[in-house]
Structures are given as structure tokens and as C-alpha cells.
Chains A and B, each alone.
Chain A
Amino acid sequence: MLRRVLAALATLLGVAVFVFIMLRAIPGNQITAGLGTEAAALTPAQKQALEAYYGLDQPLIVQFFSWLGNIFTGNLGFSARAQQSVLELTAQSLPVTLELAVFSIVLALVMGIPLGMLSASKPDSPRDAFGQLVGLAGLSIPAFLLATTLLAWLAASLGFNPNGKGFAYFFEDPWLNLQQMLLPSIVLGFGIAAPIMRTTRTAVLEIRSNDFIRTARAKGVPARRLQVEHVLGNALVPIVTMTGLQFGYLLGGAVVVEQIFSLPGIGRQVLLGIQQKEYALVQSTVLVIALAFVIVNLLTDVLYRMIDPRVRAA
């Protein structure tokens, strides 16, 4: 366990360095991002004043360590655009993304697992083809297309567009919040249902070919119990792995879906930060995302142990 925590810390440090360097490798800085081509009209003295204002006059190494040092004191930086600290901004955006991720995963599981089992129940049959087709659609229809189409169609034909209202946090207006989460969760969930469906199908087929299933069937275990307890129960490990991975990616913020449905999640926070070249904002937010990913992975490990006694022993 200690080894894992150390590895996680090393990961986070790697992420910090990587993001720091990558951000500065992008052309432009906060001055040109804000002023655009007007920055050409700045006199040297004006430029100097602005560089000092944004802290760009410091050597890179000083910038890096002052940022990193501040992180340990809980100061993740300040966003000039939002006039708020990065900690406050993250405290607002992370729950939105977390909520979206949970709903999407639940929807993905609800769609993916039954579809996978349906497909596996009779390989190469029409019902398998149906399951595979839905899975293929989930994988190949880009989220932005599905999202835009759904939104435009529902708004134009039914006038249903909760996302056109100002965003409501769950604790402010739970009913509106749930409506606003509905479409994005469906879009994301559909995309994630595909890999879950495929993993389920493969795992179920593999388990079914085992001797103990044949034995159980011979013993007269009812079909339904056989499917759920013996087959699905044993197929859970790869499904949980896949789900954990997908959940981790979702915590990185579903940038495209957040844009289209105007959700103020963490993906949009990073995107805005990159647009404005707000270095500290992007660095800190990415670090938070990486941390969330590492935590989800640790939790997935813990889940294995609960599901599969063999892992516990290992």
C-alpha cells in the first residue's frame, strides 16, 4: 500500500512538471491571450508593467516552485478572469463534474451490462448483432454530434431545454439540476456503455465456457440464478476495471459535452484557463484531476478485493 501511495505521489509530481512545461510551450501568454493582436501596440514599459502584474517576469524555475510551494499551503492560485481563487473555482466545478460522471456511469452500466449479456446469450445470432450494433454506434457516434442533435431537436420540437436556463447547483434547485444533467448524462453514458457492453460480452462468454458453469447447470441451478450469480458475478472484475477507467476519464471533465450543455464543470475550467493562458489555474486544476484519477484507481483496487476473494489473498 505504501508503495502505491509513493507511486501515486511520483505520478502527481510528473503531471505537475509535464503540465507546467507544456503550458509554456504553447505560443502566447496571458497578455497576448487577453489583448490579442492589440498586444502589438504595447510599448516596452507597458509590456513590462503587465508582465510584472501576471508574474511572467520571474524565471521559470521560480514560477514553478512558488506555485508548487503554494499548493502545499492550500493556495492553488488566483484567476484574474474570474476574480476568484482556484480553490473556490474548483470547489464549484468539481462537484458538477462528479455528479455528471456518476450519472453517466450509472446510465452506462444500466445500458451496457444487459446489452452485453444479451449479446453473449447467443453469440453470432441476430440479438448478438443488435447488441454489437448498439455498441458500435456508441463507440462511433461522436459525443458532440449526438449532443448537438439531441439538444437542437428537443428544443425546437418540444421546447425542452433545461440547459438554456442558468445552471442550477443540486443544493439550489435539485429538480432543475437533475433535468440539466439528464441529456449530458445520456450522451456520455451512451458512449461509455459501448466499451462496457463489449467487456461484459467477452467476459460472460469466457466465464460461460468454464467447467464450473457446466457443473452448476448439471446440478440444476435455475437459469436466471446461473446467469446473475455464477456468470455475471465472475465476470465483474473486468467490468469493474473498465468502469473505473472510464470513470477516471470522466473526472477529467467531458470538455465537449460540458461546452454544449453549458455545464460549469472542471473540463470547462481547464479549457477557459488554457484559452486565457491562466497558468496557475490550469496547472492546479490538472493536478486535481490527476489526483482524482489516482484515487479512483485506488478505490477500484479496493473493490476488486471485495468482489474477488482471490485478489484479497494475493
Chain B
Amino acid sequence: MNGGTRGTRGALAAVGLVAAVALTITGCSSADPAPTEEGAAGGTLVVGVTSDPDTLFPWKATQFQAVNVLQNLYGTLTEFDADLNVVPGLAESWDVSDDGLTVTFKLREGVTFADGSTFGSEDVKFSLDAIGDEATAAVARTSLASVAAVDAPDENTVVVTLTAPDAALPANLAVINMAMLSSDDTEAGLNTTPNGTGPFVLEDRTASQSLTLARNDAYWGDTAKLDTVEFRVIPDESSIVSAMQSGNVQLAVFDDPLVAQTAESGTVAVEETPQLSYHVLQLNARRGDLADVNVRLAMQCAIDRQEVLDTAALGEGEVTGPITSPAYRSDPDARPCPERDLDKAAEYLDKAGKSAGVTIKTIVSQGEYATSVNEAQNLKAQLAEANITLELEVLESGAFVDRWIAADFDAAVALNGGRPDPDGMYGRYFTSTGNLNQVAGYSSPELDELFAEGKQSSDPDERKAIYTEISEHLEDNAAWIWLFTSYTYTATASNVQGFTPMANGSLQYLRTTTVN
């Protein structure tokens, strides 16, 4: 027996095995956020999360877990309240000039960063300029596309000059990717030592194990009630449930209804919150048969959205149109086929000259979220009855993202994030100059005009009317086929009070949470 040779083969086999298993798990793991809460009058809250933040730099954070942590560490000029209305944040108030081209922000006084330095207008100018600079690679850069200049005439005033009116600006400034950083800080420094104006400061972090926040006593608003919040990494959702049952974890957010069901018990309450994100069959209206609006409408008519929801997601959610935010919500029935109608589907196919049927190549991600493959299979079954063949290509999530980014698909089964403001949500997809328009696969002069109008108007009723029109335009042309929105499930131990889950998944109300 030769030990060397056996060792060689064995080592290669072992490496292969590790890699294979690891890859499999990568493919299967879900990107689930696990949010937390906080308490009053001292106390410690442990939030179970499946992953720790992949970055602590707010301008580049897109991962749920990172956003959820950073929201508690940093401040933004504006904020959302529990109903997703824009409310003052670091800016106490703002005025828009009559021509809509100048926005003047009055900053809150006496705000300090975690390191004790004072927050002022030069920090705002520094932050907005840097976010707008391509070299920073900030993810919110396009939200500042209409900004021509940022000036800081005095310590507590910031004047933003726009190239065109932008009614969506206040809402766009409320996301954590627009966090206000100190002009003395650098990305490298903030990656290890966050320095924000939020209700908490970073106390301790052990990578991939836990991250602990401590109350910021110098916070400008009502100070948080909890002493500390620990985000404890428990990679497996079922294990988080077990940790809640044994009392080790007091708060967690799940997005799999099955897991949420197992969590509910005498000591753990589960609350469901409708989400802004939406499940959709994205169509690429610039490719092949889908370029014909009649083919797309035939697909819309052949799909019973409730059935997709029932079979793939246990009925846990609501059928939806394009816009999901409460203030602008689309009427899900405002579309050519509010109910499934196979006759009409056949008519549309006929009109397209495709009565013999069409084949649509569809990409589906495996493991990105729990219901994707089930949705795809149900859609395939339903469409088959209308002579439309969905050719499913189930991809590992990395491969799916690559194909999605390259717009390399006829159709894609996707779960896309939503935003409180409909311009922020769809402007980048459905205006011809939007940076995701290639992926959206659809644009029209009418839509461009409507989106421009929506940005110009600051009257809520007028805006609501404009976005309703946009929503109907999208449905009438079956740009995509919107399916349903789902819930997140916030599980809290019985001694946790004061936490409000939000439709955008934010954990900002950790600051009002108490643990008895």
C-alpha cells in the first residue's frame, strides 16, 4: 500500500466533496432576512439572522441583513414612518422652489456622529457629491441623476439644485444607501468602524457569528430603550426557530410560511406583514414572439394568479398589479384579463398569428427564494393549456443573476424588490433611459412622458392619478405579468414589545422595542 498515492487521491476527493457540498448548499440557501426588535428601560434583545452583513459600508449595501443593521447605525436626510410616508430625518424640513428646480434642506441642529464629531451641511454635501460620483460605485447613484449641484451656504442649510423637477427625491433620500457620512471618514475605515448618526452604535462584531449594537445615548431623537441588540447568526432557519423555542433568541423575521408556522407557539407570536416586493413573470418584449403585444396578452389571460399563489406559496399573499406601495397601490383587476380566460387567450394568440402556439424560454432561480421553482411549474402547467410552452431553465442563483443582468432570457420568474415611491420603483425599469430598462425589456414614449410628469408633480392626488395610468399602461401592454406579493413573518418572544414590522422589511423600530 502506498500512503502517498492514496493520500493524493483522497485529498482530491475530499476537496471535491467539500466543494460539491458547499456548492449545493450555496444553491439551496435562501437569502432570508432575520430582523430584530428592541426594548425599553434597558435590556438586551437577541435577533436571529441567517447571515451577517456582507458589508458595513452603507452606500454599497444591498443585502437584507446589511441594510437591516446599517439602518440602525446611520441616519438619512429623510425617513419613512411605519406607513412608509416620508418624514423628516436629519433634515428638519425642506422647501421646493416654485419651478421645482431648487430644494433647500434645513438640517437638524446638535446632531453628532458616533465618534462625537458634529454633523453639518459639509457632511451632506460630501455625502451627496460622493454618492453621485461614479468612482464611488454607490448603488443609489441614479437616484441623484437629476441633481446638478449641492451647496452648503451655512452650517445648517443645504441647497440642492436640480436639472429637472424631481418629486421622488425626498423618498429616494430616505433609503440607507443615502446615509449621511462624516466628511472625515473613508470607506476603508467605515468597513470596520461604523460612524453614523443612528439610534445605535456598533459595540462588537465577530464575523459570521454575531454583531452587537449598543444604544446611542447622544441620538437626536428619542433614544432607544434597549441597552444592546445582538444580531446572532444562525445559518439555518429551522435552527432559529429552535433557538426561539429554547428562549435564546427573542426576535426573527422569516419569509417562508412553513418555517413561520413551526415558530408559532405559546411563547412565540408570529405577525405577518405584506411586503412591497412582488413575484412576477418578467417578459422581454424585445425578443422573439414576445415582441408582439398579443402574445404577451395571451399569456396574461392564460394565467390565474390566485392559482399560482395557492399552489406555490400556500395562498400566503395577495394577487397584485404593478405598484405595491400602500399609497399608490394598483388595482389588481385593472387589466385586460382580470380573471383567467382561455378563450380570450386563444383570440390574442390568433391575432398574433400564432394559433399553433409559441415557446418561451424562461429562467428560474433555484434557492434564491423558496417559491421560485413551484411558481414556474405552475405557470408552465397553466400556460400549456393555452398552447404556450414555457421552456424552464432552472439556474443556481449566481447563474440566474448573470443571465438576468445581461437580459439574456425571454421570460424570467423573479421576486423583485419594491419601493415606497413608484418612481423609484419603476422609473429605472420602464423609462427608455432607465438603467434597468434593458432588463425590463419594455418602454414606450407614453410611459416616458408619464414618468416625467410624475416626477414633476408634487401634488399627491395628481401623482396618484399619473401612476395609476402608468400601472394600467403596463398591464394593458402586458409588459410583465405581475403575480402576487407575499408576507414576511415577524416572530417575537412574548417578552418583546414595541416592535413594528414594516412593508419594506426595515428593522428601524428596534429603537422603540423593549424586552421585559
The answer to whether A and B come from one shared complex is yes
Name A44's closest neighbour in chain B (CB-CB): B134
Q: A40-B436, A82-B208, A245-B10 are in contact. Are A7 and B4 (CB under 8 A)?
A: yes
- Tell yes or no: A69 within 8 A of B by CB: no
Stretch at the interface among A190-198, A223-231, A258-266: A258-266
Residues of B within 8 A of A252 (CB): 14-15, 17-18
Q: When the two chains form their complex, are residues A81 and B8 in contact, meaning their CB atoms are under 8 A apart?
A: no
Of B22, B54, B238, B245, the contact of A274 (CB 8 Å cutoff): B22
Q: When the two chains form their complex, are residues A293 and B435 in contact, meaning their CB atoms are under 8 A apart?
A: no
Q: Shortest Cβ distance from B195 into chain A, in angstroms?
A: 15
Cβ < 8 Å to B, chain A residues 1-42: 3-4, 7-8, 10-12, 14-15, 18-19, 22, 26-28, 32-42
- Given A274-B19, A274-B23, output 18 extra A-B contacts at Cβ < 8 Å: A18-B15, A19-B15, A35-B139, A36-B31, A36-B63, A41-B435, A50-B137, A80-B55, A82-B208, A148-B238, A167-B209, A248-B11, A252-B18, A259-B25, A262-B233, A262-B239, A267-B18, A297-B3
Q: Shortest Cβ distance from A90 into chain B, in angstroms?
A: 12
- Tell yes or no: A307 within 8 A of B by CB: no
Q: When the two chains form their complex, are residues A15 and B135 in contact, meaning their CB atoms are under 8 A apart?
A: no
- Tell yes or no: B401 within 8 A of A by CB: yes
Q: When the two chains form their complex, are residues B17 and A38 in contact, meaning their CB atoms are under 8 A apart?
A: no
Q: How far is the CA of A34 from the CA of B25 in the complex (A)?
A: 17
Q: Shortest Cβ distance from B129 into chain A, in angstroms?
A: 15
Q: When the two chains form their complex, are residues A22 and B19 in contact, meaning their CB atoms are under 8 A apart?
A: yes
Q: Shortest Cβ distance from B5 into chain A, in angstroms?
A: 7
Residues of B within 8 A of A119 (CB): none
Q: When the two chains form their complex, are residues A43 and B435 in contact, meaning their CB atoms are under 8 A apart?
A: yes
Q: How far is the CA of A293 from the CA of B395 in the complex (A)?
A: 32
Q: When the two chains form their complex, are residues B435 and A155 in contact, meaning their CB atoms are under 8 A apart?
A: no
Q: How many residues of B contact A (CB 8 A)?
A: 75
Cβ < 8 Å to B, chain A residues 250-295: 251-253, 255-256, 259-262, 264, 267-272, 274-277, 286, 289-290, 293-294
Stretch at the interface among A109-117, A131-139, A156-164, A203-211: A156-164
- Tell yes or no: A60 within 8 A of B by CB: no
Chain A to chain B contacts (Cβ below 8 Å), 30 pairs: A3-B4, A4-B4, A10-B8, A32-B398, A35-B139, A38-B62, A38-B139, A41-B139, A41-B436, A43-B134, A45-B135, A46-B135, A53-B137, A81-B52, A81-B55, A83-B207, A89-B207, A152-B238, A156-B242, A159-B246, A164-B249, A251-B14, A252-B18, A262-B234, A262-B239, A267-B22, A274-B23, A289-B18, A293-B10, A298-B7
Of B18, B54, B139, B428, the contact of A253 (CB 8 Å cutoff): B18
Q: Shortest Cβ distance from A29 into chain B, in angstroms?
A: 9
Q: Mark B1-37, 1 if CB is under 8 A from A, else 0.
A: 0011111101110110111011101100101000000
Name A167's closest neighbour in chain B (CB-CB): B209
Q: When the two chains form their complex, are residues B26 and A293 in contact, meaning their CB atoms are under 8 A apart?
A: no
- Tell yes or no: B439 within 8 A of A by CB: yes
Q: Which 3 A-B pairs have the closest CB atoms?
A: A164-B243, A164-B248, A82-B207
Residues of B within 8 A of A28 (CB): 398-399, 401-402
Q: A34-B55, A300-B3 are in contact. Are A259 and B236 (CB under 8 A)?
A: yes
- Tell yes or no: B311 within 8 A of A by CB: no
Residues of A within 8 A of B242 (CB): 151-152, 155-156, 161, 164
Q: Shortest Cβ distance from A101 into chain B, in angstroms?
A: 12
- Tell yes or no: A179 within 8 A of B by CB: no
- Tell yes or no: B79 within 8 A of A by CB: no
Of A39, A262, A297, the contact of B6 (CB 8 Å cutoff): A297
Q: When the two chains form their complex, are residues A49 and B135 in contact, meaning their CB atoms are under 8 A apart?
A: yes
Name A159's closest neighbour in chain B (CB-CB): B246
Q: Shortest Cβ distance from B35 into chain A, in angstroms?
A: 17
Q: When the two chains form their complex, are residues A290 and B14 in contact, meaning their CB atoms are under 8 A apart?
A: yes
- Tell yes or no: A234 within 8 A of B by CB: no
Q: When the two chains form their complex, are residues A49 and B3 in contact, meaning their CB atoms are under 8 A apart?
A: no
Of A245, A249, A264, A289, the contact of B209 (CB 8 Å cutoff): A264
Q: When the two chains form their complex, are residues A34 and B134 in contact, meaning their CB atoms are under 8 A apart?
A: no
Residues of B within 8 A of A89 (CB): 207
Q: Shortest Cβ distance from B466 into chain A, in angstroms?
A: 23
Of B12, B60, B438, the contact of A11 (CB 8 Å cutoff): B12
Of B22, B56, B62, B141, the contact of A34 (CB 8 Å cutoff): B62
- Tell yes or no: B307 within 8 A of A by CB: no
Q: Shortest Cβ distance from B290 into chain A, in angstroms?
A: 19
Cβ < 8 Å to B, chain A residues 297-312: 297-298, 300-301
Q: When the two chains form their complex, are residues B11 and A15 in contact, meaning their CB atoms are under 8 A apart?
A: yes
Of A8, A33, A83, A300, the contact of B398 (CB 8 Å cutoff): A33
Which interface residue of A8, A18, A41 has the most chain B CB atoms within 10 A? A41
Residues of B within 8 A of A4 (CB): 3-4, 7
Q: Mark A43-84, 1 if CB is under 8 A from B, else 0.
A: 101110110010000000000000000000000000111111
Residues of B within 8 A of A164 (CB): 234, 239, 242-243, 246-249
Cβ < 8 Å to B, chain A residues 218-251: 245, 248-249, 251
Name A314's closest neighbour in chain B (CB-CB): B1
Residues of A within 8 A of B23 (CB): 26, 274
Q: How far is the CA of A60 from the CA of B252 in the complex (A)?
A: 42
Cβ < 8 Å to A, chain B residues 50-65: 51-52, 54-56, 60, 62-63
- Tell yes or no: B232 within 8 A of A by CB: yes
- Tell yes or no: A126 within 8 A of B by CB: no
Q: When the two chains form their complex, are residues B19 and A286 in contact, meaning their CB atoms are under 8 A apart?
A: yes
Residues of B within 8 A of A259 (CB): 25, 235-236
Name B435's closest neighbour in chain A (CB-CB): A41
Of B60, B208, B235, B405, the contact of A37 (CB 8 Å cutoff): B405
Q: When the two chains form their complex, are residues B54 and A8 in contact, meaning their CB atoms are under 8 A apart?
A: no
Residues of A within 8 A of B15 (CB): 15, 18-19, 252, 286, 289-290, 293
Q: How far is the CA of A301 from the CA of B247 in the complex (A)?
A: 48
Name A89's closest neighbour in chain B (CB-CB): B207
Q: A43-B134, A286-B18, A297-B10 are in contact. Are A260 and B25 (CB under 8 A)?
A: no
Q: How far is the CA of A165 from the CA of B405 in the complex (A)?
A: 40
Of A27, A40, A262, A297, the contact of B235 (CB 8 Å cutoff): A262
Q: How far is the CA of A26 from the CA of B6 in the complex (A)?
A: 29
Q: Shortest Cβ distance from A303 into chain B, in angstroms?
A: 11
Q: When the two chains form their complex, are residues B398 and A81 in contact, meaning their CB atoms are under 8 A apart?
A: no
Q: How far is the CA of A53 from the CA of B29 in the complex (A)?
A: 27
Name B6's closest neighbour in chain A (CB-CB): A297
Of B31, B208, B404, B428, the contact of A268 (CB 8 Å cutoff): B208
Q: When the two chains form their complex, are residues A166 and B435 in contact, meaning their CB atoms are under 8 A apart?
A: no
Name B9's closest neighbour in chain A (CB-CB): A11
Q: How far is the CA of A272 from the CA of B439 in the complex (A)?
A: 28
- Tell yes or no: B241 within 8 A of A by CB: yes
Residues of B within 8 A of A18 (CB): 12, 15
Q: How far is the CA of A152 from the CA of B11 in the complex (A)?
A: 34
Name B434's closest neighbour in chain A (CB-CB): A41
Q: How far is the CA of A159 from the CA of B22 in the complex (A)?
A: 30
Of A34, A42, A160, A256, the contact of B21 (CB 8 Å cutoff): A256
Q: When the two chains form their complex, are residues B22 and A271 in contact, meaning their CB atoms are under 8 A apart?
A: yes
- Tell yes or no: B191 within 8 A of A by CB: yes
- Tell yes or no: B142 within 8 A of A by CB: yes
Q: When the two chains form their complex, are residues B245 and A159 in contact, meaning their CB atoms are under 8 A apart?
A: yes
